Amino acid sequence: QVQPVESGGGSVLPGGSLRLSCVASGRTFSNKVMGWFRQAPGKEREFVAAISSSGGSTYYADSVKGRFTISRANAKNTVYLQMNSLKPEDTAVYYCAVHYSGSYYYTGSYGYWGQGTQVTVSS
């Protein structure tokens, strides 16, 4: 079992940067594809990025491609999401999750969700 815990959220100005971290307990972390999702008020949870178990492959939503970077440090059981050039529409609660099966882009393919961390982009 892998249980994620997110941190690093906060409030930033448009154009600013934040780095989110997700520490996942469990000895099988290095075998798991990990994903980041987000949910804005009144909207469904949506895919942001995913990373393969080795870190060699990454996947991004079109809305964040070129601005966000997902990475991982298996020795630290940690996945990161570096967010640059933030926009007000990036405001949401960001969740880390462990991929179970199926498409990396689909919320239902993930289990063991974290509690989320709030990101607010506003002037």
Give tens-digit pLDDT for 43-65: 999 999 999 999 999 999 999 99
Q: Which two tokens stand for residue 23?
A: 């520490």
Q: Find the largest Cα–Cα distance for the chain.
A: 42
The pLDDT value given to residue 15: 98
Is residue 18's pLDDT more than 80?
A: yes
Is residue 36's pLDDT more than 80?
A: yes
Type of residue found at 61: A
